[in-house]
C-alpha cells in the first residue's frame, strides 16, 4: 500500500441550485456558521467557496420561499432566517448624500475603510438607472443609491423592490425577488440603515437578512447597518466556483 492509494472516504456534495439572472447558481450545503461576519467569510473561503453578495443571496432566499420546492435545505434557509440571520457579503458606506454598496469577496467588513473618492472613481462612466439616480459600476461591484431614492423603515412588499438601498444592495432583479419574498409574510418588510445628516461623518457597516426573530409569520428584515465583529449568530451558504 502506497501513500497514493491509502484508504479514504469520499461523500457527495449537496448543491442547492437556484435560478439566477439568465442561468443558475449553486450554493453548497451545509451553511457556514454561526459566527460573526468575518469569521463566517473566512470559513467559506477555507472551503474554496465564493462569498455570497446581495445578488446571489436574493436568488437563494427567493427560491427558498417562492419556488414551491419542498426540500429540507430550503427549510433550513427559512429556519435560519427565522431563528438567526443570513450574512450578506456587502460593505455599506452610509454618507450624507446616500449609500455606497461594495461587494466584499474577501470578507473585509469594517477592517478596511471605504473612501468615497475611490468609490466615485470606480463609478466613473456608470449609467444611471432609469429611475432614482441609482448607479452601478461597469462590473457591478460598486453601486450608489442617492439618499432621496430610499426611505428606511416599513414598506409594502411592492415598494421594497423600488427602494434605492435595496436595489443597490441586491440588484434590480434581486430587489424584485425580495419584494416577492416579503409578500409571503404576515407583517410588512422593514429596511434598516444609517441616516447620516449633512456635516456628519459617514458610517461604514455590513449587511444581513432575517425574518424577525422567532415571530411566527413575521416579516422580511433587510439590514444594511450591521457590525461585522460583534454579532455571532449569523450564517451564510457559500457559492460553488
pLDDT tens, position by position, 169-186? 999 999 999 999 999 999
76-95: pLDDT as tens digits:
999 999 999 999 999 999 99
Strand partners, 222: 191, 209
pLDDT score at 182 = 96
CB-CB contact of 84 with 235 (8 Å): yes
Annotated domain spans of the chain: 14-236
Cell of 158: 411592492
Q: What is the pLDDT of residues 17-62, one digit of tens each?
A: 999 999 999 999 999 999 999 999 999 999 999 999 999 999 999 9
Query: For position 109, what pLDDT does the model report?
Result: 97
Provide the pLDDT confidence category of residue 215 given band limits of 50, 70 and 90. Answer: low
The span from the CA of 211 to the CA of 221, in Å, is: 6
Q: What count of Cα atoms within 13 Å lies in the side-chain half-sphere of residue 209?
A: 34
pLDDT at 175: 98
Give the DSSP H or E segment for 65: helix 54-66
Amino acid at each position: 500500500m502506497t501513500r497514493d492509494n491509502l484508504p479514504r472516504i469520499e461523500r457527495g456534495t449537496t448543491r442547492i441550485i437556484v435560478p439566477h439572472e439568465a442561468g443558475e447558481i449553486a450554493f453548497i450545503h451545509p451553511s457556514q456558521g454561526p459566527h460573526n461576519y468575518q469569521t463566517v467569510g473566512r470559513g467559506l473561503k477555507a472551503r474554496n467557496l465564493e462569498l455570497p453578495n446581495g445578488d446571489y443571496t436574493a436568488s437563494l432566499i427567493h427560491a427558498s420561499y417562492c419556488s414551491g420546492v419542498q426540500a429540507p435545505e430550503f427549510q433550513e434557509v427559512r429556519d435560519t432566517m427565522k431563528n438567526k440571520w443570513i450574512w450578506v457579503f456587502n460593505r455599506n458606506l452610509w454618507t450624507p448624500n446616500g449609500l455606497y454598496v461594495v461587494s466584499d469577496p474577501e470578507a473585509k467588513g469594517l477592517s478596511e475603510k471605504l473612501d468615497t473618492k475611490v468609490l466615485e472613481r470606480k463609478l466613473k462612466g456608470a449609467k444611471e438607472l432609469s429611475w432614482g439616480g441609482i448607479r452601478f459600476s461597469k462590473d457591478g461591484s460598486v453601486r450608489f443609491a442617492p439618499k432621496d431614492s430610499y426611505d428606511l423603515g416599513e414598506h409594502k412588499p411592492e415598494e421594497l423592490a423600488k427602494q434605492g438601498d435595496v436595489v443597490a444592495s441586491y440588484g434590480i432583479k434581486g430587489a424584485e425577488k425580495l419584494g416577492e419574498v416579503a409578500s409571503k409574510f404576515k407583517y410588512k418588510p422593514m429596511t434598516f440603515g444609517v441616516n447620516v445628516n449633512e456635516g456628519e461623518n459617514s458610517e461604514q457597516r455590513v449587511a444581513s437578512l432575517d425574518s424577525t426573530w422567532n415571530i411566527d409569520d413575521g416579516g422580511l428584515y433587510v439590514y444594511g447597518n450591521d457590525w461585522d465583529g460583534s454579532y455571532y449568530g449569523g450564517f451564510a451558504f457559500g457559492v460553488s466556483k
